[in-house]
Chain A
Amino acid sequence: MEKIGSAGNKGKAIRSDCFVTIELTDKDGIIIELNSKVKSLFGKSIIELCKDEIKYFGIKNAKVQIEDSGALPFVIAARIEAAIKKCVNTGKNYLQEMIPENAYHTEKDRYRRSRLYLPGNTPKLMINGGLHSADGIILDLEDSVAPDKKFEARFLVRNALRQNNFYGAERMVRINQVPQGLDDLEYIVPHNVNLILIPKCESADQIQQVELKITELSKKYDVEHPVYLMPIIESALGTIKAYEIATASENVVALAIGLEDYTADLGCQRTNEGRETFFARSMLVNAAKAAKIQAIDSVFSDVSDMDALKKFVLESKSQGFDGMGCIHPRQIKVILENYLPTDAEIAKAKKIVNAFIQAEEKGLGVVAVGSKMIDPPVVKRAQRTIKVAVEEGKLTKNWRDDYVC
């Protein structure tokens, strides 16, 4: 192993991060040099944290340099640990408290209309990531992290799962492509991750490998809640195998599609009209619905064009998708709003739900609106529409009080 390890980011444009360098030495004990824009207010506590961590890993002599740009404690701890582990072989982990706000689990069929990608090695984007009302946040270890930063990103993502409040958003992590991604699991499964995204998925076997590793880790770390899976289909082969992937594990709750890689695989350009991806998207929706799970659309990459995004969402909804990814918080509102049921859909759902309740009250086994019989799945879908409409403020909770057929 090297005698010097470093981790983190520094420079003028860097905020809420730090850069830590540790050099193992033979004598003179621990020497810490701290440069920080918040030194007069937090210098002491940063040095205490550093000393504690160094002691925890049993280091006796080292020169430590911390260049801090206002990093929060969970970030500093992650950077120090990553730097240490580049020069010390240890099975120990320096774990900070799991904040009670992050102790929640999620339901298999919860809404996944919008989920916000947060690059796994950029703390400043994580800190407020949960504030924008996305159904989920994705701490990304894959494409948004440079290859030489993958190692340190794992510690940051782990610490964020334990310490950074995401305000009720489903806490997802996108691991690296299997098999490399299997090594990421150790850093996230024991830390109450709700859902794992498996990128570039092409076979049921990949899901089973992930599932096996999760089971193993869950036993080792006493994880009792399920860890849900969302495979991402990003290739021609993956598209063909979509149903096999969707049904590979009962923990698969949704299938997502990644169109940038998919169009590259086909050898064509991605267009706004999306003719070239129509088959893949239909296939994915069909496979997901056949497996009774959610179908999640690709991200929309032009973050400044809200009108085009709106068109994309409406198109996506009409094709049967339940949600999509976001790469910028400003997309969330447009996505949430446009996946919402329309006024006409709500009006129709009101009719059906009302008829259903009346039928129940009368002890009738059959629901009818006018002369038309309504099947149970239609009732279920209408109930869901009403639930969303109420939750999103498009309908009052007691809408039936003044409901006139």
Chain B
Amino acid sequence: MSVKLVKNSIGRMVPTEINGKKSVPFQGVGKYHPDYRKFAPKVATCADFPDDGNKLVDDLKTALIKAGLKDGMTISTHHHFRNGDLVANQIFKIASDLGIKDLVWYPSASFPCHEPILEYLENGTINHIEGSMNGVLGRFVSEGNMKGTGVLRSHGGRYQAVQDGDVQIDIAVLAAPIADPFGNANGVKGPSACGLLGFALADSQYADKVIIVTDHLIDFPCIPWQIHGNYVDYVVKVDKVGIPEKIISGTTRITKSPDRLLMAEMTAKLCQEAGLIKDGFSFQAGAGGTSLAIADFFAKIMRKENIKAKFARGGSNKYLVQMLEDGLVEYILDGQTFDLDGVRSMRDNPNHVDTSPFTSYNYHGKGNFASFIDIVILGATEVDVNFNANVNTHSDGYLLHGIGGWQNCLFGRNVILPIPLFRDRIPVIRDEVTTVTGPGELIDIIVTERGIAINPLRKDLLEKLKDSNLPIKTIEELKEEAEKICGKPVLPEFGDDIVAVIKWVDGTIIDSVRKVIK
């Protein structure tokens, strides 16, 4: 691909055109002000739909054909079934069997269970993926084998792209644990319950055609209607939409690693000393073992000091649910449920609220609640001396993770990254990150097992913690310590080809991912 590259505002070379469409380079946080109107889907008429509300068709293949599946279309799926999804692979098998070419797959995330997609990338059924590309898919893309260019977006960015018309979904295939023949659906009930369907909201609202696939069909009305049947074209009943034990990981547990516990304890202590844990505060904690340990340390502090949080942003799990039920937290505003306690709580507790990327993350809206979360805990593969962080590529350049809600949560008031100083032998604090997923100005604190670095922009935090016994160092000191232990890594070799781009929350291009030379 020979396209024009320009330097964006943080000095990364990015293309001005992706897959034949114009693109805007990153201009800085909050600098890009679009002046266009939102995308609008086609107007539908009830005249085209049955009066009895029965939109059932025989099978997925029939639904796809009725929806007009043809070459070059964009097909979207959601990832609420995580690694237990049984639907996405079927779509592309059907397309491949029909001889369809050059589709774009627009998942809200991909998982190891999507390995079979490789075959459809290889045989030309799929042109490219706009979504996370990990594992074998990541390897395939990183080595320059995908026909088109990959596009990675945050959960909020995915909503924004659909809303703005940057991505126009032709067919949304939305798996649902329970649905009625009209297309109303939710995630809290049925044998494959996954909690909610928030990631599918944009798809249902904006796609040309919407297909609901469920293994648990009930009579109208399916309540709550997290997905409104009024957006839905066809409903398909299948034997199984997902593998329940892989939908709910069931293994989200507090880490037992003493090194991670040390980081978690330091993080909690730092939050306490900086006065961030106070009545009415809010926090976001992920489902990783370290995040859970931090939430658990928070709970201990809150119990001891008699402090209550207003809300917690989930990924919910049994630990967060326990805090809700113990009255330590008043609300859980949840983006995805990670275990059955999360699903149960969302179903039964009105204070456990399902959210969508629209309410929590969409940057092209009139605000979103991510920016008023007090404490945000995130991970990263690498952080550089300017606090820029990378969650997308491994230090050897291979695509490793999607963005998820990571970029969106950077807008929280205090963003903390508890990360080890090095993994195996690879330093995590670098001169320059391999890929910029998020700009350093939004990242406040790095907590490693060997020291804590606070962004010099946060003079208030530095002031509050100036007498702390915590091992506060500069980010440069941390970098040097890592290199002293591991040695200085050489930079991996990259080709000229851009295999994927990283979108910022406003749709501009923050960085490019280049082809890895093996």
Chain A interface (Cβ within 8 Å of chain B)? 15-16, 37-38, 40-42, 44-45, 69-73, 127-128, 131-132, 165, 328-330
The 6 closest A-B pairs by CB, nearest first: A70-B424, A329-B258, A41-B489, A40-B396, A70-B425, A40-B492
Q: Name, among B424, B425, B449, B485, the residue most crowded by chain A CB atoms within 10 Å (CB to CB).
A: B425
Which B residues are CB-close (under 8 A) to A41? 395-396, 425-426, 489-490, 492
Our pick among B397, B450, B489 for the contact of A42 (Cβ within 8 Å) is B489
B18 interface residue per 8 A CB criterion: no
Inter-chain contact B450/A72, CB cutoff 8 Å = no
For A330, the closest partner residue in chain B by CB is B258
Inter-chain contact B425/A72, CB cutoff 8 Å = yes
Chain A interface main SS type: loop
For B517, the closest partner residue in chain A by CB is A40
Which B residues are CB-close (under 8 A) to A71? 425
Inter-chain contact B262/A131, CB cutoff 8 Å = yes
B186 to chain A, nearest CB (A): 39
For the A-B complex with A41-B425, A41-B426, A72-B486 known, give 5 more contacts whose Cβ atoms are closer than 8 Å: A16-B424, A40-B490, A40-B492, A70-B426, A72-B485
B54 to chain A, nearest CB (A): 52
Query: A37 vs B261: C-alpha distance in the bound complex, in angstroms?
Result: 26
Query: A240 vs B449: C-alpha distance in the bound complex, in angstroms?
Result: 44
For A37, the closest partner residue in chain B by CB is B424
Inter-chain contact A38/B258, CB cutoff 8 Å = no
Q: 7 A-B residue contacts at CB 8 Å?
A: A38-B396, A38-B425, A40-B493, A44-B490, A45-B487, A70-B426, A328-B258
The number of chain B residues with a CB under 8 A from chain A is 21
B19 to chain A, nearest CB (A): 28
Query: A69 vs B425: C-alpha distance in the bound complex, in angstroms?
Result: 9
For B398, the closest partner residue in chain A by CB is A40
For B488, the closest partner residue in chain A by CB is A45
Which A residues are CB-close (under 8 A) to B425? 16, 38, 41-42, 70-72
Which A residues are CB-close (under 8 A) to B492? 40-41
B259 interface residue per 8 A CB criterion: yes
Chain B interface main SS type: loop
Q: Which of B382-438 contact A (CB under 8 A)?
A: 395-397, 423-426
Which B residues are CB-close (under 8 A) to A40? 396-397, 490, 492-493
Inter-chain contact A38/B493, CB cutoff 8 Å = no
Our pick among A38, A72, A132 for the contact of B262 (Cβ within 8 Å) is A132
Which A residues are CB-close (under 8 A) to B423? 70
B258 to chain A, nearest CB (A): 4
Our pick among A44, A70, A72, A131 for the contact of B449 (Cβ within 8 Å) is A131
Which A residues are CB-close (under 8 A) to B256? 330
Chain B 469-510: CB-based contact to A (< 8 A → 1; otherwise 0): 000000000000000011101101100000000000000000
Q: Name, among B258, B396, B449, B489, the residue most crowded by chain A CB atoms within 10 Å (CB to CB).
A: B258
Query: A178 vs B401: C-alpha distance in the bound complex, in angstroms?
Result: 53
Q: Which of B150-188 contact A (CB under 8 A)?
A: none
B279 to chain A, nearest CB (A): 26
Which B residues are CB-close (under 8 A) to A37? 424
Inter-chain contact B424/A131, CB cutoff 8 Å = no
Which B residues are CB-close (under 8 A) to A15? 424
Query: A37 vs B492: C-alpha distance in the bound complex, in angstroms?
Result: 13
Q: Which of B119-158 contact A (CB under 8 A)?
A: none
Chain B 439-481: CB-based contact to A (< 8 A → 1; otherwise 0): 0000000000110000000000000000000000000000000
A138 to chain B, nearest CB (A): 16
Which B residues are CB-close (under 8 A) to A128? 258-259, 449
Which A residues are CB-close (under 8 A) to B485? 72, 127, 165
Which A residues are CB-close (under 8 A) to B487? 42, 45, 73
Query: A95 vs B8: C-alpha distance in the bound complex, in angstroms?
Result: 48
A19 to chain B, nearest CB (A): 15
For A73, the closest partner residue in chain B by CB is B487
Query: A178 vs B490: C-alpha distance in the bound complex, in angstroms?
Result: 46
Query: A127 vs B462: C-alpha distance in the bound complex, in angstroms?
Result: 30
Query: A42 vs B424: C-alpha distance in the bound complex, in angstroms?
Result: 12
For A44, the closest partner residue in chain B by CB is B490
Which B residues are CB-close (under 8 A) to A329? 258
Query: A351 vs B261: C-alpha distance in the bound complex, in angstroms?
Result: 38
B307 to chain A, nearest CB (A): 22
For B516, the closest partner residue in chain A by CB is A40
Which B residues are CB-close (under 8 A) to A16? 424-425
Query: A72 vs B484: C-alpha distance in the bound complex, in angstroms?
Result: 11
Query: A328 vs B256: C-alpha distance in the bound complex, in angstroms?
Result: 11
Query: A37 vs B489: C-alpha distance in the bound complex, in angstroms?
Result: 13
Which A residues are CB-close (under 8 A) to B493? 40
Query: A340 vs B492: C-alpha distance in the bound complex, in angstroms?
Result: 51
Inter-chain contact B450/A131, CB cutoff 8 Å = yes
Inter-chain contact B259/A131, CB cutoff 8 Å = yes
Query: A304 vs B244: C-alpha distance in the bound complex, in angstroms?
Result: 31
Which A residues are CB-close (under 8 A) to B395? 41
Query: A38 vs B425: C-alpha distance in the bound complex, in angstroms?
Result: 7
Query: A41 vs B423: C-alpha distance in the bound complex, in angstroms?
Result: 13
Query: A16 vs B492: C-alpha distance in the bound complex, in angstroms?
Result: 21
Query: A40 vs B434: C-alpha distance in the bound complex, in angstroms?
Result: 13
A123 to chain B, nearest CB (A): 11
Which A residues are CB-close (under 8 A) to B396? 38, 40-41
Inter-chain contact A38/B449, CB cutoff 8 Å = no
Which B residues are CB-close (under 8 A) to A69? 424
Query: A71 vs B486: C-alpha distance in the bound complex, in angstroms?
Result: 9
A148 to chain B, nearest CB (A): 26
B94 to chain A, nearest CB (A): 37
B105 to chain A, nearest CB (A): 29
A4 to chain B, nearest CB (A): 27
Which A residues are CB-close (under 8 A) to B450? 131
Which A residues are CB-close (under 8 A) to B262? 131-132
Inter-chain contact A330/B261, CB cutoff 8 Å = yes
Query: A42 vs B395: C-alpha distance in the bound complex, in angstroms?
Result: 11
Which B residues are CB-close (under 8 A) to A132? 258, 262
Which B residues are CB-close (under 8 A) to A38? 396, 424-426, 489
Chain B 292-305: CB-based contact to A (< 8 A → 1; otherwise 0): 00000000000000
Query: A330 vs B449: C-alpha distance in the bound complex, in angstroms?
Result: 15
Which A residues are CB-close (under 8 A) to B486? 42, 72
